Amino acid sequence: MWNQIQIPEADSLHRQSIQVETETVHGEKLALQCMGCDACVENKGCMCDHSTQDLKSVVNEADVEDHTEANSSFAHSVINMIGMLIGLGQLSAPYALENGGWASAFLLVGIGVICAYTSLLLGKCLEKSPSSRSYADIGQHAFGSRGRLLASTFINVEIFMTLVSYTISLHDNLITVFAGTQLRLLIWTKLSTSQLLTMIGVLIALPSMWMTDLSSISFLSSGGILMSIIIFTSVACIAIFQVVKANHSIPALHLHKIPAISGLYIFCYAGHIVFPNLYKSMKDPSKFTKVSIVSFASVIALYTSLAFTGAKLFGPEVSSQITLSMPRHLIITKIALWATVITPMTKYALELAPFSVQIEHSLPGSFSSRTKTIIRGAVGSFLLLIILSIALSVPYFEHVLSLTGSLVSFSICIVFPCAFYIKISSAQLSKFSLILNATLLAFGLLLGVAGTISSSKSIFTSLKRDHSA
C-alpha cells in the first residue's frame, strides 16, 4: 500500500534526508525516519542514502543545508521502486484474473505499461521544474495551489482507504488463523468473534501510534517488506512442489466484471506518489527512465505470473486474498496467514504518521513537547479507531480495494501525471504526444469512473444482503 504534507518550517526542514527502507499499498508503497525530510513527512519514504547520519540527531533548523544530497545508485533505485510497487496487489491479483478471465491479463499488463509511462512523465515534469521535490509540488507547478490541494486530497484519501483494506485483510485472516475460537464480551454481546479478534489485533498495534522514535517506525516498515516476501514465497512453493494441482481452467473473459477488477489491477502499480522523491535522490537522474523500465517490467512479470498461478491452482474457488485459498493444514499456509495478519500492524504507525506530524506542528509553540506528543498520539489513535470501525462495518476486501483503486489510484497513477505533463509542457508538445496523453487521461477517467460505480454498487449490495440476513 504518501502525500506532501505542508507543515511549519517545511522549507528549511525538507533539505535534511535520511536513508530509509521503503514499501508501498498501491500497495504500496515507505518508511518515515525523519520529520525533516519532505519525502519522509509525506510518508512515501525518502530514497536518499544517508545511512551514516544518526537518526536521533535529526533536525536543528539552523544547521540544515540548502541542498539534498542525492547518492542513490541505479540498483538501489530499482530495488526501492520494486519494493514500493509490491503490496496488497499480490493478495488480490489471482482473484482479479479469475473473475476477469485470462484475457484480462492484457489489461493487467497494459495498465502496468501505462503506469510505467506516466512515471516517466513525472520525471519529465521534474526536469521542467528543478525546484519541485514531490508529487504535490508537481501539482502546484502545473495548476497552482489548487493542483497541490487536489493531489494532496486524493493521496490522503488513498492512504486512509488503503489502511481500511489492510484492516479488512487482518479481519479475514484472523478468522482463518483462529478458526473454531469463540470469544464473547459481556458488554458487547453483539460483536462476533471475528470482530473481537480484529479489535484485539488493532489494539495491539495501537501503542505504535505513540512512538516518537522514528527509527522504530522505520523498523516496522522493514517488517512489512519481509511479510510480503514470505507471502509470495509461500504461494510459489505450493505451485512448485505441486501441493495443489494447477489444473483449473480460467474463463476467457467476463466483460461485465472488467470495471471492478480494473480497480484491483491499478492498485498493483500505485506507487507514483514517491517517484519524484526517488528521482531526486538518484546520483544520475538521467537513468530514471531505465529504473522505471526495469522495475515495472519486473513487477508486471511478478504480478502476471502470480495471478495465473493462483487462478490455475484454485480456479473459481480462489479467494479475494490468495492466502485464504491455500490448504489450511500446511505449515507454509499458517506462515503465510500469520504474515498477512502481521502486515497491517506494521503499517498503521507509518501510514498515519504524516497526519499526526501535521497536527503536532500546527500546535501553538507555547505547548510543551510532552503535550504535543500526547495530542499527536491521541490523534493517531483516534484515526486508527475510525479505520477499525469502517473496516468492521464494510468487511468486503475485494470491493473496498477495487473502490480504492478506481476512486483514487487511477487519478494518481494515470490522470494526474498526464494532466500535469500536458499543462507543464504544453508549449513543447507535439500533436502526437498531446493526443497520446489526452487519450490516456480519458482512459484513466473512464475506467476510474466505471470502476467506482461498479465497486460502490457491490459494496451497497453486500451491505443490503448482510443487513437482510
pLDDT number for residue 462: 93
Q: What is the pLDDT of residues 228-278, one digit of tens each?
A: 888 888 988 998 888 888 889 999 999 999 999 999 999 999 989 889 988
Residue 208 main-chain phi, psi, to 5 deg: -65, -20
pLDDT of 179 reads 83
Question: In this structure, how many other beta carbons lie within 10 angstroms of the beta carbon of residue 62?
Answer: 6
Largest CA distance in the chain: 69
Q: Looking at residue 251, what DSSP letter applies?
A: P
Is residue 25 very low, low, confident or very high in pLDDT (cuts 50, 70, 90)?
A: very low
DSSP-assigned beta bridge partners for residue 26: 270
Q: What one-character DSSP code corresponds to residue 174?
A: H
Which of 30, 65, 68 has the alpha carbon at shortest distance from 48? 68
Location of C-alpha cell 473496498: 400
Q: Which amino acid is at 419?
A: A
Q: Tell me the CA distances in angstroms from 139 to 25, 44, 156, 160, 337, one per residue in order.
A: 21, 16, 15, 20, 39
Q: Give pLDDT, residue 186.
A: 64
Res 39 pLDDT > 80: no
Separation of first and last alpha carbons in the chain: 33
The superfamily in CATH containing domain 70-462 is Amino acid/polyamine transporter I (1.20.1740.10)
pLDDT: which is higher, 224 or 345? 345
Instruction: Provide the whole-model pTM.
Output: 0.81
Mean pLDDT of 412-418: 97
Which residue type does 148 have?
A: R
Task: Give yes or no for a contact between 84 and 299, defined as CB atoms under 8 angstroms apart.
Answer: no
Alpha-carbon distances of 8 from 5, 35, 159, 370, 374, rounded to whole Å = 10, 11, 22, 19, 19
* Residue bearing the bigger pLDDT, 315 or 44: 315
- How does DSSP classify residue 297? H
Here the cell at position 68 is 539534498
Distance CA 115, CA 121 (A): 10
CA torsion, ordered 434, 438, 439, 440, to nearest 10 deg: 110
- Grade residue 34 by pLDDT with cuts at 50, 70 and 90: very low
By the 8 A CB rule, do 232 and 90 touch? yes
CA distance 235 to 327: 11
* Nearest residue to 276 via CA among 427, 127, 421: 127
Q: Are 4 and 18 in contact (CB under 8 A)?
A: no
The amino acid sitting at 223 is G
Q: How far apart are CA 157 and CA 153, in angstroms?
A: 6
Which three cell numbers, joined as nine digits, stand for 344?
497491517
The separation between CA 268 and the C-alpha centre of its own chain, rounded to angstroms, equals 8
Going by C-alpha positions, the residue among 304, 233, 293 that lies closest to residue 265 is 304
| pLDDT recorded at residue 189 | 65
**Mean pLDDT, the chain, integer:** 82
pLDDT at residue 75, rounded to an integer: 87
Task: State yes or no: pLDDT of 68 exceeds 50.
Answer: no
Least confident residue range of 10-19, 63-72, 385-394, 395-404:
10-19
What is each CA distance from 96 to 137, 202, 238, 261, 359, in whole angstroms?
Answer: 34, 28, 20, 5, 38
pLDDT tens digits, 126-146: 999 888 888 999 999 999 999
Minimum mean pLDDT range among 66-70, 198-202, 225-229, 393-397: 66-70
Contacts of 427 (CB under 8 A, 6+ apart): none
Q: Which of 112-126, 223-237, 351-365, 433-447 has the lowest mean pLDDT?
A: 351-365
